[in-house]
Amino acid sequence: MIVRTAPAKVNLSLRVLRRREDGFHEIATRMAPLTLADGVKMEQIHGAADGTVAFTCNDPTIPGDDTNLAVKAVRALEKLAGPLPAVRIHLEKRIPHGAGLGGGSSDAAAVLLGMDELFSLSLPVSRLAEAAAGVGSDVPFFLHGCVCDCTGRGELVTPVPDFSWHPRILLVKPPFGVATPDAYRRWGTSREVPGLPYAEQQTPGGILMNDLERAVFEKIPVLGTLKACLLECEGVTAALMSGSGSTVFAVLEPSVNSAGIIDAVQREAGTELWCCDTAVR
């Protein structure tokens, strides 16, 4: 049996450069893995036909068919390495859905790495990245386990080995998700909502900014209000929406008590929020 963690991520920066001819968008983003993670277990099923994938999850709303990114990862690996023995995959889901935290993509990368180890394929990361890019734009990033700069549609990955900023981060996710295709579709025509914060923020880890905030805040202004509320809290040095949302994260001073920040945000938003005090790895 192989057990792997599948970390969440935040986008420390996200620039949308243009819409490409293939329908995707050209981006430049810096992504960082978090200590918040799903768990993925993989083991061979003896006596079952090659190519069989038995998928289970602690979250019954997660599909187990070929629409699941973890199962798609197996199919992509088969195209690269040939027929594979039957495998059982169990996913212990902790990263929330539709959050802009890359949970599904991270699960897929964990499956690629785990299957490579389980069946002694010994494929280099560069080859696994070929399979990963066909599963999803963020999947290649999660093969590296470190802060990376990503370009293209996100699949061209350059690790940042000298990244030394390790802040505490508070993740705040409202009880709804944001559809990534819709956020990108609205990017070209969206406008800033007066009074909401969009300015670049200088940090020891570089400039924090997200071009998709304009598109998402215009449609769902409560997320912009949430960001503004975090920025006003004592002990918060920066705040940003991650990816296409709906998670907004706050960079915390090392000694601040995050419970007070959570209380302030919940009072402002007037709803239950999913919060996780974590740290960039």
Residues with a known catalytic role: 9, 138
- Are 94 and 38 within 8 A, CB to CB? yes
- Are 71 and 65 within 8 A, CB to CB? yes
Distance CA 61, CA 114 (A): 23
- Are 141 and 154 within 8 A, CB to CB? yes
Six-digit token pair at 174? 């409202």
Q: 40 vs 1, 64, 264, CA distance in Å? A: 10, 14, 35
Region of 235 please: left (phi>0), alpha (psi -120 to 50) or beta. left
Return the amino acid letter for 140: P
Length of the chain as a residue count: 281
